[in-house]
Structure 1
Amino acid sequence: MKDEHKFETRLLSSLSKVFPDENLADSPLASGSILRNETFSFQMAFRSEKLLKQVKVHTTVDSSLKVEVRSVGVVPSELPVYPDHDEHVIRSTPGLYPDPLYPITEEGLTAFPGQWRSVWITIDSEGQPGQYPIGIRLESETGLVLGEEQLELEVMSQSLPDQTLIHTEWFHVDCLASHYKEEIFSERHWELIRSYVQTAVNNGMNMLLTPLFTPPLDTQVGGERPTVQLVDVEVIAPDTYAFGFDKLSRWVDMCNEEGVAYFEFSHLFTQWGAQHAPKIVALANGEMTPIFGWETEASSDEYRSFLQQFLPALREWIEFKGIKDRSYFHISDEPSLDQLESYRKASEMVGSLLNDFPITDALSNYDFYVNGLVKTPIAATDHLDKFLEHEVSPLWAYYCCAQYKEVANRFFSMPSARNRILGIQLYKYQITGFLHWGYNFWYSQYARKEIDPYRTTDAEAAFPSGDAFIVYPGEHGPIESIRLKVMQEALQDLRALQLLESLIGRERVISGLEEGLDEPITFKCYPREADWLLAKRAWINQTIHSYSS
């Protein structure tokens, strides 16, 4: 039996953003295709003319497909984007933006009168190739059918190749302890760390920021973040130290169990120029006490002596754990050109101690690379041109709040296509790795205080909403976001393109991607439409199928 009051539904792709106060503009979605080991997401939008509570969601799907249905929540944004933004945003006004993906409880959904909302459907397939109808039905609490839709999903016989892109989103373990009110590295904290690592790995993050010492990132000068130091340090004589790696071993073992492929050891010097040592605490005279920090000049004899003892001990431990080929180091994050000399001194301090490890830092000026100060540059996406022009390899890319003109990004205010296009760009330019600083930064800017990420999405008017975190804290673990799932799709696009390249060659892949475009795809120039992306991914799948038959 069907309810007689007006209730509208529409299937939409994962690239649609459904706002409560805006009519739907995107075309209905009728079908899709995936490779066998791929995740496919789509939405069912709905609008009721009256308030309805306890709306139930029912799915009809073949048992070989794993389906998850979540409710797309809305969260406030007071700073959606900077005022001088480009035209490629959905809206720039403060308000409620769709982002968190909430599990649907026994109480079901609420349909607010006159508001469009949506549910997010995720399909994972390891089943047999074929056509699968996916049915979605919404019912009232009395069992009346409010609306129903069906999507035809083709599961192809081919599988995505393993991910080769190295991908890190900086993981802030102190934010977990702060939000959940748990003692750092207590058993409950370790459980939370594991659950957030699982979500990261499941969404294509295969490198994990590993806090040897408390990472000197987004910290107010003179201030400090909670101590999250995995390496135990003991002062056994003046300027003489002993090191313990038990917690670091536990971390690495956990990462191995959860599928982390690479370890990104935290920065050995402070952010923005390598002028100081990070906060390091040690057991001295029977008490835990800070031995280095803001008061320590980076090039001081004391810190140099410490590194000359610590890094060889760490190298020996890395060799023992068998992770040398999976280990990366940082010096200082985002140095500017006027900090080149302080960065040079820091680079030279550790260069001979880490000469056979990759050292990689986020920076935008080519001079750091050409002067031999960083082996593997991580260039901002709006400053990649010079690195690409000189065929730098390996080359990584990153974006953050500063990359809000022309290039890809994932602010609340931006269309999801601007998030997903990154996969095609990384493929075309053969980028080795991608870094973003905000997996779960739930503090205000400079880590001055804790924030509630469901209420404050801009780090207290510091970064546009969507920059500082891509997961939310749930009661027992992470709540994913639509931006996270779309980023996962971008990485799947990259892997699908690599599979296609193995079948038809790189030149033909790029020619097919750019067919019909007025200009070649670059990091600043690319098709903006969601329909183009969806059609191009369909072409990729169809071509893979044709050349695999």
Structure 2
Amino acid sequence: MQNSNTGFETVLLSSLSKVFADGELEDKPCTSGTALRKEVFSFQLAYRSARLLKQVTVRLVSDILPNISVRTVGLVPSELPCYHDHDDNVLRSSPGLYPDPLLPLRFTAIEGSASFVSEAMNVYPAQWRSLWISVDVTEDMPQGSYPIRLTMEAETGEQLAEETFDLTVIGAALPEQRLIHTEWFHTDCLATHYKVDVFNEEHWSLIERYVQTAVRHGINMILTPLFTPPLDTAVGGERPTVQLVDVQKDGDTYTFGFARLLRWVELCRSSGVKYFEFSHLFTQWGAKHAPKIIAAVDGEAKQIFGWETDAAGEAYAAFLRQLLPELTGFIREHGLEGSCYFHVSDEPHLDHLESYGKASALVRDLLADFPVIDALSDYAFYEKGLVRKPVPSNDHIGTFIENGVPDLWTYYCCLQYKQVSNRFFNMPSVRNRMMGWQLYKYNIEGFLHWGYNFWYTQHSLKQIDPYRVTDAGGAFPSGDSFLVYPGEDGYPVESVRLSVFREALQDLRALQLLERLIGRERTLALVEEELLAPLTFTEAPADLSWLLRRRARVNALIREAAGQAV
């Protein structure tokens, strides 16, 4: 819609469009959609004014107002949007302001009417901006059509624009998520940013809020810091101590306390977490040292292991031989069998085969009843039996698929930026969401990523403000190191990327539902309709309209198979 009197423009867009303040809109308008029950459906209202307008409000009218949230898509800077040799499937490669944080917009109910009105906001001249509208389609929502009307009004009460989105709810619910999904949760970053003591009551409250947000977005496994995780830490450096297991050392004998770990488990379980991955037992990139471990020695807290510890030495081996039986006993005592996963060391390379092999052998028998997972790219680690459950990156997973490795996981990080799915700021959102379709085709069991809330520079050398520094201090392309921003009220601010990846997981669940109704062969055929080549992790459509058409077709077939009227 364009208001010729005020020079105000609005366009309804899908959630897969990225609206840049200094660019033109290139995607087609999206004015309707379908959703299943137990799904969160999102779309956008893009707007632009010819002049500065202050005190603009948004009026929302719908029969399902309690199920709708509206947020503004904020802008954050990116100095490193991509590496110099990026592929062509990016929106832009220049530094600048990128749309990402979903900033809360407060609404007030208007008494006697089916409408909400927002707090006032400024509209800047000659800039496209957008509102992010999400509908929580509950399990009991009646099927049918639900118009959602949005108007924007000037301070004088003049209507600047009006748009209506038609959402059709299908009377079938998404099945429960089967994929195991972890985004590494950095408890030390919460304590550092909010300036609270580790594991004091305020810190526990922060942990709970951030875990709950994670679970709402399909993150059902939580990185659990038995000891301070030896991740992205400079050799010889350290991260703030976040240790859930109490250790007491008396000569060569250790005793362990699990009270804090139990509180962690109970908090996470009550928030909906289903799986726990215990932090790595050896340092990153080679498993050559022990993580930082603090113990009570003669009544005084002392660091007993760390960078100075030879991982293959007898001292650390003796510690693990005492710890792991006690820990696995705790797991069994609290009914956590089948829910716990362990790590040896993150991202070992071929030149780490020997050191990783020694570390793996040290814990193999002690953890024989539990899955051990590690992110890595070289097939040799699995071929030699050094890791029972490899997590290959999505640009190296092909070798593992070709060799028939069962129950595969996958991951990506900053290095997976050519041809494969990822979620940097400068990548189109379809590249983020395509992962759901790839996970479905290859029956992937789990997905891992390292950055839920990493708010430090590379190697954890110093704290950053994620609203100003989005590339870990010039280390990784913006969008790699965190998915949520710290809110001033102690609640996380979600991102476009987090919301779109939840949509990827919803696509996966919808495909699994369709498979249950019409069979896997027909569902796979549907996935690859209109494609010139079979879908793989390195071959996928870049067109958002393809994905939107496919998902609409999936929903239509679900409705048809369930015998519902159109």
TM bucket, shorter chain: over 0.9
Q: Paired residue for 2:536, among 508, 511, 522?
A: 522
Matching residue of 1:120: 132
Contact (CA 8 Å) 1:60, 1:134: kept in 2 or not? yes
The 5 Å alignment of 1:168-207 reads 168-207=182-221
The 5 Å alignment of 1:201-220 reads 201-220=215-234
Q: What TM-score, normalized by structure 1, do the two folds share?
A: 0.99
Asked whether 1:69 is paired with 2:82, we answer no
CA distance in 2, matches of 1:303, 1:502: 49
C-alpha displacement at 1:57, in angstroms?
A: 1.3
CA distance in 2, matches of 1:424, 1:400: 19
Q: Which runs of no fewer than 5 residues in structure 2 stay unpaired?
A: 107-117
The 5 Å alignment of 1:303-452 reads 303-452=316-465
CA distance in 2, matches of 1:85, 1:181: 38
Q: Match for 2:209: what amino acid?
A: S
Matching residue of 1:28: 29
C-alpha displacement at 1:475, in angstroms?
A: 1.0
Q: Paired residues, what number?
A: 547
Q: Paired residue for 2:521, among 489, 498, 507?
A: 507
Contact (CA 8 Å) 1:426, 1:494: kept in 2 or not? yes
CA distance in 2, matches of 1:133, 1:197: 33
Q: Match for 2:284: what amino acid?
A: Q
Partner SS for 1:382: coil
C-alpha displacement at 1:217, in angstroms?
A: 0.3
CA distance in 2, matches of 1:505, 1:360: 31
Matching residue of 2:310: 297
CA distance in 2, matches of 1:142, 1:491: 43
Q: Match for 1:80: what amino acid?
A: P
The 5 Å alignment of 1:218-297 reads 218-235=232-249, 237-297=250-310
Residue deviations 1:350-394 (CA, integer Å, cap 9, x gap): 001000100000000111011111111100000011100011111
Q: Which runs of no fewer than 5 residues in structure 1 stay unpaired?
A: none
Residue deviations 1:255-283 (CA, integer Å, cap 9, x gap): 11000000000000000010000000011
C-alpha displacement at 1:4, in angstroms?
A: 3.0
Contact (CA 8 Å) 1:71, 1:109: kept in 2 or not? no
Partner SS for 2:558: helix
CA distance in 2, matches of 1:134, 1:64: 9
Partner SS for 1:317: helix
Q: What TM-score, normalized by structure 2, do the two folds share?
A: 0.96
The 5 Å alignment of 1:119-138 reads 119-126=131-138, 127-138=141-152
Matching residue of 1:16: 17
CA distance in 2, matches of 1:58, 1:47: 17
C-alpha displacement at 1:516, in angstroms?
A: 2.2
Matching residue of 1:532: 546
CA distance in 2, matches of 1:272, 1:516: 42
Contact (CA 8 Å) 1:216, 1:269: kept in 2 or not? yes
C-alpha displacement at 1:293, in angstroms?
A: 0.1
Contact (CA 8 Å) 1:3, 1:144: kept in 2 or not? no
Residue deviations 1:470-517 (CA, integer Å, cap 9, x gap): 000001210000000000000000000000000111111111111221
Residue deviations 1:169-211 (CA, integer Å, cap 9, x gap): 0000000000000100010000000000000000000000000
Contact (CA 8 Å) 1:75, 1:455: kept in 2 or not? yes
C-alpha displacement at 1:65, in angstroms?
A: 5.7
Matching residue of 1:46: 47
Contact (CA 8 Å) 2:64, 2:146: kept in 1 or not? no
Matching residue of 2:94: 93
C-alpha displacement at 1:3, in angstroms?
A: 9.1
Partner SS for 1:158: strand
C-alpha displacement at 1:64, in angstroms?
A: 7.0
CA distance in 2, matches of 1:256, 1:517: 41
Contact (CA 8 Å) 1:136, 1:149: kept in 2 or not? yes
CA distance in 1, matches of 2:121, 2:275: 40
Q: Paired residue for 1:164, among 162, 178, 188?
A: 178
Q: Match for 1:47: what amino acid?
A: R
Contact (CA 8 Å) 1:65, 1:123: kept in 2 or not? no
Residue deviations 1:61-99 (CA, integer Å, cap 9, x gap): 113760000000000000000010000000000000000
Residue deviations 1:138-174 (CA, integer Å, cap 9, x gap): 1112222111100110000000000000000000000
Q: Match for 2:367: what amino acid?
A: L
